[in-house]
Amino acid sequence: MNQLYPWQRSIWSQIRNNAITKAQAFIFSGRKGIGQLEFSNYLAKSLLCEQPTQTQYACGNCRSCQWFEQGIHPNFYRLEPEAWVEFDADAAQTFNDSKQPSEETSSKKKLSQQITIDQTRHLDQFLYLSAHQSARKIILIHPADCMNIPAANAMLKKIEEPPPQVLFFLVTDRLQTLLPTIVSRCMRITLPHPDRLSVKDWLHQEGIDESSIDLSWFGTSPQLVKRYFEADYLTYHAELIAGISSPMQLDPIALAEKLYKLELSMIVSWLQKWCYDLVSHQMIGMVYYHRRYETAIKTIVAKTEPKQLIDFWKQLTQFQQLSKHPLNTRLFLEELLLAYVKTCSRN
């Protein structure tokens, strides 16, 4: 039974048969949306499988594979932020990457978006007790960059002196945010990202017509494309672009009302890509992300002072940092959009 993405099969045997024997702690990293979690999860399943195939895939039929699919395998522990544990893993991923919690429950969820020191302490019982049938045990930490500093330091000690037959899988798309001391003690495995043809083929198999979008906007990350289609984010993105493409007619309050339930960091990233195209067109006459809106971009650039545009582009970095902890989502978006309107006005 093969559950790997097509672009991951070429490195499967190299990792499954060779790299996995050379260390006890591994970091699986790569571009967001290419399937690091799925790969590491399936690797764990295959390592615990009682009857792997000749190519070392999980058989899918043995008792171990059944336990794994049901989420009750005694030798597998998946460590994630507490908010994710409350939901199905796929739903939790979608929530974290692309949804903003409602204002009524946001305070509760915001408190549990990190992997905490208490969670790492709870690992001790699993870590140091004998494994079922004396087999190997696997701890999968996802996303590893969500460990706060105390949790990361506690995890470092466990990785430095792991019990025999225990493997650590750290999964992240933000390798640069991990503690350097943790990175230095793990074998780093960078998973390949697919080319455009592979992305298109996979999307077609998933029943998604990518012809309505520009794949460069997603950095050829197929999971992001699929998620945007399934959650209808393209509709919200279109509303944002329709508004900011005519800044003098933009109503920040009305647009903020339509978008405030989405994840704020995602909206800021949309605006960052838009402003990248504005700056790029102003400097070298090129548009990278929004080629279909080149006429509107050209009009805005002609009416905008270069310094103002570059200053706002830099300011978006601060908005991105604040987006994780806004006091009020509507006010945050209104301020962001008002700043954009002011930037696109000479007066």
pTM value is 0.75
Residue 104: inside a domain, yes or no? no
The residue-averaged pLDDT of 329-340 equals 95
pLDDT level of residue 101 (50, 70, 90 thresholds): very low
Are 62 and 186 in a shared domain?
Answer: yes
The residue-averaged pLDDT of 188-193 equals 94
Residue 338: inside a domain, yes or no? yes
> In this structure, what is the dihedral angle of CA atoms 161, 82, 68, 172, given to the nearest 10 degrees?
-60
pLDDT level of residue 212 (50, 70, 90 thresholds): low
Are 261 and 278 in a shared domain?
Answer: yes
| Whether residue 217 has pLDDT greater than 90 | no
Residue 100: inside a domain, yes or no? no
Residue 86: inside a domain, yes or no? no
Q: Note the pLDDT of residue 95.
A: 33
Last residue of a domain, one of 204, 229, 254: 229
Residue 222: inside a domain, yes or no? yes
Are 182 and 237 in a shared domain?
Answer: no
Q: Note the pLDDT of residue 96.
A: 40
pLDDT level of residue 324 (50, 70, 90 thresholds): confident
Range of the domain at 214: 195-229
Residue 94: inside a domain, yes or no? no
Are 181 and 210 in a shared domain?
Answer: no
Q: Note the pLDDT of residue 234.
A: 83
Are 25 and 69 in a shared domain?
Answer: yes
CA separation, residue 187 to residues 19, 22, 45, 132, 182 (Å): 8, 8, 19, 26, 10
Are 21 and 136 in a shared domain?
Answer: yes
Are 216 and 333 in a shared domain?
Answer: no
Are 180 and 290 in a shared domain?
Answer: no
Are 119 and 74 in a shared domain?
Answer: yes
| Whether residue 309 has pLDDT greater than 60 | yes
- For the stretch 4-30, what's the b/e string if a residue is b when 16 or more beta carbons lie within 10 angstroms of its beta carbon? bbebbeebbeebbeeebeeebbbbbbb
Are 142 and 202 in a shared domain?
Answer: no
The CATH number given to whatever domain includes residue 156 is 3.40.50.300
Are 137 and 205 in a shared domain?
Answer: no
pLDDT level of residue 106 (50, 70, 90 thresholds): very low
| Whether residue 94 has pLDDT greater than 50 | no
Lowest mean pLDDT among 170-184, 225-239, 283-297: 225-239
| Whether residue 140 has pLDDT greater than 80 | yes
Provide the token pair at 218: 């997603």
Are 33 and 136 in a shared domain?
Answer: yes
The CATH number given to whatever domain includes residue 325 is 1.20.272.10
Query: pLDDT tens digits, residue range 29-77?
Result: 999 899 999 999 999 999 999 999 999 999 999 999 999 999 999 999 9
Last residue of a domain, one of 166, 190, 214: 190
**Count of domains forming the chain:** 3
Q: Note the pLDDT of residue 82.
A: 82
Q: What is the rounded average pLDDT for all residues in the chain?
A: 87
Last residue of a domain, one of 229, 249, 278: 229
Residue 99: inside a domain, yes or no? no
Residue 125: inside a domain, yes or no? yes
CA separation, residue 109 to residues 53, 65, 85, 86, 331 (Å): 41, 32, 11, 10, 20
